[in-house]
Amino acid sequence: MTTARAGSVFDGLALALLLINSVALAMLELFFLPLRFDGVILPDYGGAPAPVSVLVALMTTPWLVSRTAGLAVRMGGPAGFAGLPLTLWFVTVIGIGLFGPGGDLVLPQDWRAIALLAAGALPSAVVLGRVLAQARIARSGRPTR
């Protein structure tokens, strides 16, 4: 097996792991979204919400989009592949959140749901837009800054 082909196989595996990661992170962020400071898992601070998963979504989803863009470019695929983790994350959060296991509504009906969707989707959309713009500039042959 040549090194180019071995690199391609490893890049494909890394891409698959990034996509699986986006689904797994979406499920974990969704299931830990109702976490509260109620003395059961976290210390008792009057039952205040502790949306730690919003911070996790804020950090990991744009990173997944960025890493997928790098792999897609290295593999010679279109830059649009960078949107796959964001799409899978969003579909997982909405799908499981609204039509969860056993038909349960997992997504809380308050500000935490909006915060999770905003923290995961907005920064990732900015990263995706940057990646697509850079790909378009590279295709047109214009110099970048």
Q: Per-residue pLDDT for the chain (145 aa), expressed as one digit of tens each?
A: 555 555 678 888 999 999 999 999 999 999 988 887 877 777 778 877 778 999 999 999 999 999 999 888 887 778 778 899 999 999 999 999 988 778 788 888 889 999 999 999 999 999 999 998 988 888 787 665 5
List, in sequence order, the alpha helices (H) in the chain. 3-31, 52-75, 84-98, 111-140
Q: What is the pLDDT of residue 6?
A: 55
Q: How far apart are CA 30 and CA 93, in angstroms?
A: 6
Q: How far apart are CA 131 and CA 65, in angstroms?
A: 9
Q: How far apart are CA 57 and CA 12, in angstroms?
A: 24
Confidence (pTM): 0.85
Q: How far apart are CA 84 and CA 95, in angstroms?
A: 16
- Residue 101 is classified by DSSP as G
Q: How far apart are CA 18 and CA 57, in angstroms?
A: 14
Bridge partners of 37? Answer: 48
